[in-house]
Amino acid sequence: MKGRVTLITGASRGIGRATALSLAAHGSDLILASRQAAPLEEVAALCRERGVSTHAIGIDLADAASIKAGIETALGLGGRIDHLVNNAGVVGDALLMRMKREEWDRVLTTNLTGAFEVTRAVLPGMIRARYGRIVNISSVVALMGNPGQASYCASKAGLIGLTKSLAREVASRQITVNAIAPGFIDTEMTRAIAPPAKDDLIGRIPLGRLGTPEDVAAGVAFLLGPGAAYITGEVLNISGGLYM
C-alpha cells in the first residue's frame, strides 16, 4: 500500500477518520474528502504526522457539480487515484408511512448516487493504469433490514449491488471492487441511542459489544492491501456476529 494514493470520502469523523489514520500508518498517501472543513483538516494533519502526503478537499456527495470539481482537484493534487473508499453517508430515519419523498431522495442521492458519481469519475484512471482497489462502505442493515431505516437500508443495499456489478465489469483490468458491511459501530450516531435501547442492541451482538471505527478500518486496510489481490465482488461483514 505504500506509495499508493487513496481517496476517502466522509473522512472527517467516525469510520472515515479511523480509516484515514490506519492507511496513513500503512504508508498510503491520502486525499480526504468531506463537507466538514475544520475536522477534516484536523484528520489530515494527524495523517501528515505519520509521514504521508495528505490533502483535504471539500465534496458534497449530494451535488454532482461538487463531485466533479472535487475529483478534478483530487487528481490535480495526487496525480492519480489508486484506491477509493466510498465511505460518506447520511441517515434519514422514519417509518415508511411517514417518510417524505425529499428525505428518501436525500439519502439515496448521497449514499448511492454520490458513490456512483465518485467511482465513475476515478475509474478511467484506474482502467488506464490496469490497477485499482475500490471499497464501498455498506451496512449490516443492508443485509438484514431495520425498521425505520428504509431509505438508509435501500441505499446501502444498492451499494452492494453496485459493488458486485462493477467488480465483474472491471476485473479484467485488475481492479478489485469490494464492500464492507459494518454492524453497529461506536460513533456519534450510536451514542445518541438511549441506554435501554443500546443495552438491548448490544445484547443481540454475539461478541457483546459495539464495534469500533478501528475494527472497520482494519477491514478496509486488508481489502486495499496485497493480501486481498484475489478478492473481488465480496461483502465483508464486520458486525460482531450480529448477522451470520
Q: Does the residue 242 lie in any domain?
A: no
Domain count, the chain: 1
Beta-carbon contacts of residue 172 (< 8 Å; ≥ 6 apart): none
pLDDT digits (tens, 9 = 90+) for 68-118: 999 999 999 999 999 999 999 999 989 999 999 999 999 999 999 999 999
Q: Once rounded to an integer, what is the mean pLDDT over residues 35-51?
A: 96
Is the pLDDT at 197 greater than 90? The verdict is no
Q: In terms of residue numbers, what domain contains 133?
A: 5-237
Grade residue 192 by pLDDT with cuts at 50, 70 and 90: confident
Is the pLDDT at 67 greater than 90? The verdict is yes
Annotated active-site residue in 131, 152, 230, 243: 152
The whole-number pLDDT of residue 198 equals 84
Q: Does the residue 131 lie in any domain?
A: yes
Q: What average pLDDT does the chain have?
A: 96
Distance between CA atoms of 148 and 169, rounded to whole angstroms?
34
Distance between CA atoms of 33 and 186, rounded to whole angstroms?
21
Distance between CA atoms of 9 and 32, rounded to whole angstroms?
6
Q: Does the residue 93 lie in any domain?
A: yes
Residue 110: all three cell numbers together: 448521497
Grade residue 196 by pLDDT with cuts at 50, 70 and 90: confident
Distance between CA atoms of 241 and 16, rounded to whole angstroms?
22
Q: Is the pTM of this model over 0.85?
A: yes
Grade residue 194 by pLDDT with cuts at 50, 70 and 90: confident
Residue 243 a catalytic site member: no
Q: Does the residue 43 lie in any domain?
A: yes
The whole-number pLDDT of residue 187 equals 85
Q: Does the residue 244 lie in any domain?
A: no
Q: Does the residue 191 lie in any domain?
A: yes
Q: Does the residue 101 lie in any domain?
A: yes
Q: Does the residue 58 lie in any domain?
A: yes
Give the domain CATH number at 41.
3.40.50.720
Distance between CA atoms of 221 and 15, rounded to whole angstroms?
12
